[in-house]
Amino acid sequence: MSTATPDLNGHKVPQMHQRSDSHDYHSRGIYMVTLCTDGRLPLLGTLAGDSAATAVVEPSALGHEVLRCWHAIPELQRKLGASKSERTGRLCTRDIRLLAWQLMPDHFHGIIFIRQPMDIALGDVIRGFMVGCTKAYNALLAAGGAAVAPSPQICGAPNPAASAVSPASGPLAPAGSSLAPGGGRVGWSAYLREGSAGGSLAPGGGRVGWSAYSREGSAGSSLAPGGGRVGWSAYSREGSAGAEESLPPLLCAPLRPLWQKGYHDRILMHRGQLQNMIDYIHDNPRRLYVKRRHRDLFCVQRNVIFARWSFSAVGNVSLLDKTLVAVHVRSYFTDEQRRSYMNGCIIAARRGATLVSPFISEHEQRVRQAALLEGHTCIQLCPHSFPDLFKPVGDLFDPCSCGRLLMLAMSDAPAPGERRITRAECSSLNAVAESMARESIQTQHPT
């Protein structure tokens, strides 16, 4: 069951609890995981760039530590599995590859490949990662509270906004090795693909945002932190011999939390989904840049009134003042009737109407896609309320940023995970869309 914690504005932020009840998380699989900082504090980095195309997140000192902990996962888990095999006499293989990642100011995305069944679950791996990051966070606080200092360099050039913390020594030092792509360059997501050239994490071409590839079986030492760096002792629930010896006394005390409780995961289930996951996390800095420059279009507005309905809204509310045309492709339409109806909707949009619908069926989604591609406007009805940090995703994000989309939530009830919409909800939303279209015509052309 989900819980919530307040963010910086005192709003409730849902905790990241989402698991599939039917999936075995010990099994082979590819997962996209998302972790948010406690209270959504922007501790991990700052957004930089003078356009959406050049937007990049500059890691803070803490952000660098999070990336190091992430890169250490495969080798550390391999060693822990080998250690458990020796103790128990049973083979405990933990073969993990990191496919992609993206650091953001207040959250982290990573795609992880469990290559064969393990003796522990994905949750054990991620909790170990979270503990390691939390230890690094507390060590940085003890070293002077510079955990949110931006990276001293961006792509080898001095960063005028950098912290005064010296990168040359101490736990704040960037890795300067294969742990940080390109010597600590930022905004990098790497794919550790089987069989690719063994160049560790050094990217070719040296451009920010490029992917790096590492060959299966490359030297495990390149992923292990050197010199017992603070926060890097075995951060798995399994523990490790001598792990506490390198920790400062502070870390023996209760730790200040870095992450929200729990995390979100998405399981790769079908062909093409991996590339979609990769594209999504790589596009995070650009979307954040766009959101910050169009805050009015991406903030959730409550109690938006239209006729007799009250909505929560995200997007361009002024679309409610236009003539609305409902889109509802009936299941009993013949192929010719369906084509004619869908073409009629697009023609209405070309004449200046705004299409309104829950856009549930495949055919209705094709109408929405065609209308938005042509630069027209749409209102999408949703069955459940928006959380405070809601944003449109996929092909709805850019139309929202341009003021061509409005999303309306019909209920204050939170969305129940990722379950499919019910037939009753479909019928109710379609009825509301048709009523809204009639109301708009009466308002625009009163008799």
Give the model confidence (pLDDT) of 132-153 as tens digits: 999 999 999 988 865 555 444 3
Share of the chain above pLDDT 70, in %: 68
In this predicted structure, the answer to whether residue 181 has a pLDDT above a threshold of 50 is: no
pLDDT tops 90 at residue 370: yes
Higher pLDDT, 5 or 411: 411
pLDDT at 221 over 80: no
Q: How confident is the model at residue 115 (pLDDT cuts 50, 70, 90)?
A: very high
Question: Cα dist. 26→122, 123, 155 in Å?
Answer: 6, 9, 38
Quick one: which of 278, 223, 266, 253 has its CA closest to 126? 266
What pLDDT sits at residue 239?
Answer: 36
pLDDT of residue 205 exceeding 90, the answer is no
Q: How far apart are CA 289 and CA 371, in angstroms?
A: 25
How far apart CA 136 and CA 84 sit, in angstroms, is 25
Q: What is the pLDDT of residue 397?
A: 95
| Distance, CA of 259 to CA of 65 (rounded, Å) | 14
Residue 227 pLDDT exceeds 50:
no
Q: Which of 17-26, 33-42, 317-326 has the lowest mean pLDDT?
A: 17-26
Average pLDDT over residues 236-249: 38
**d(Cα 38, Cα 339) in Å, to the nearest integer?**
50
- What is the mean predicted confidence (pLDDT) over 334-348? 97
Structural domains for the chain: 4-291 (no CATH), 295-444 (3.40.50.450)
What digits encode the pLDDT tens for the residues 393-409?
Answer: 889 999 999 999 999 99
Percent of the chain with pLDDT over 90: 60
Query: Where are the extended beta strands (E) located within 79-222?
Result: 96-103, 107-114, 153-154, 157-158
Q: What is the mean pLDDT of the chain?
A: 76
Question: Mean pLDDT highest for which of 171-185, 201-215, 347-361, 412-426?
Answer: 347-361
Higher-pLDDT residue of 211 and 41 is: 41
User: What pLDDT does 167 receive?
Assistant: 30
Q: What is the pTM of this model?
A: 0.69
Amino acid symbol at 85: S
Is 34 in contact with 263 (CB distance < 8 Å)? yes
- Bridge-partner residues for 108, per DSSP? 35, 103
pLDDT bin (cut points 50, 70, 90) of residue 412 is: low
pLDDT band at 445 (very low <50, low <70, confident <90, very high): low
Other CB atoms within 10 A of residue 266 CB = 17
At 379, the amino acid letter reads I
pLDDT for res 162: 33
Q: Which of 27-41, 206-220, 316-330, 410-424 has the lowest mean pLDDT?
A: 206-220
Q: Mean pLDDT lowest for which of 89-98, 216-225, 267-276?
A: 216-225
Does 307 have pLDDT greater than 50?
A: yes
CA distance 121 to 118: 7
Cα–Cα distance measured from residue 385 to residue 407, given in angstroms and rounded to the nearest whole number: 10
pLDDT for position 320: 96
Q: Per-residue pLDDT tens for 153-177?
A: 333 333 333 333 333 333 333 333 3
